[in-house]
Structure 1
């Protein structure tokens, strides 16, 4: 398992990461509501944003699909694989949003552990 560096998931760092996601999430949601097929580029940005945080917090150079990350919630790797394979689907957007929420909660739990 690839451990997270707890100093890199401070409340401030996670809050900034999540604020950025909220702004992007609104764009993705609006694109899906408009049904104009423009959500995919925003989804790619959201996926990249999520992976960047995961890699920084885990202190790794790149995302390994076969690795287990302490920071990822239950079935996070499988869910991320689905999202990456189907970025234009609304279901992927919902999964990515849930993955962000659950990862934010997981960060809080990990910070509390000794």
Structure 2
């Protein structure tokens, strides 16, 4: 298991990460509501934001999340769910799934801070 780095999961770091997501989330939601076709590109930014946080928060040397590895920072089935999202980033269901991953990861970071 790839463990988390305590310094990378501070409340301040997680809040900065979530603030960036909230901006993207609002844009994605608006794009889906308007059906303007821009959601896929914005989702790519959201996916990159999510992956970069997990990698930075973990003691690993890769730049992307690997399905073969287990990350302490990822929620249950996180890697598989992320693969699903990456496969169809323009779909509304994938947007909802990514939003849920952000929420679950925030909760997981809080538990890990208490544990470490």
Normalising by structure 2, report the TM-score.
0.95
Q: Give, in angstroms, the shift of residue 85 of structure 1.
A: 0.5
How much has 1:59 moved relative to structure 2? 3.2
Report the Cα distance in structure 1 between the residues aligned to 2:28 and 2:45, rounded to whole angstroms: 10
Aligned-partner Cα distance in 2 for 1:38–1:109: 35
Contiguous gaps of at least 5 residues in structure 2: none
- After TM superposition, the runs of 4+ consecutive aligned structure 1 residues lying more than 4 A away are none
Which among 83, 86, 96 is matched to residue 84 of structure 1? Answer: 86
> Structure 2 residue aligned with 1:109, among 89, 108, 111?
111
For structure 1, list consecutive stretches of 5 or more residues without a partner in the other structure: none
Whole-Å Cα distance in 2 between the matches of residues 96 and 11 of structure 1?
Answer: 20
**2:79, 2:51 → 1: CA distance?**
11
Q: How many residues align?
A: 114
Q: After superposition, give the CA deviation of every residue in 1:52-87 in whole Å (9 maximum; x if it has no partner).
A: 000101032222122111000111111101000010
Q: CA RMSD in A?
A: 0.8
In the alignment, what sits opposite 2:24? 24
Give SS of 2:69's match.
coil
Q: Are the equivalent residues in 1 in contact too, given 2:66–2:79 (CA < 8 A)?
A: no
Instruction: Give me the TM-score of the superposition, normalised by structure 1.
Output: 0.96
The SS at the match of 2:55 is helix
What's the offset of the Cα at 1:18? 0.3
| CA distance in 1: counterparts of 2:41 and 2:9, whole angstroms | 27
- Separation of aligned partners in 1, 2:5 and 2:46: 22
- 2:9 corresponds in structure 1 to 9
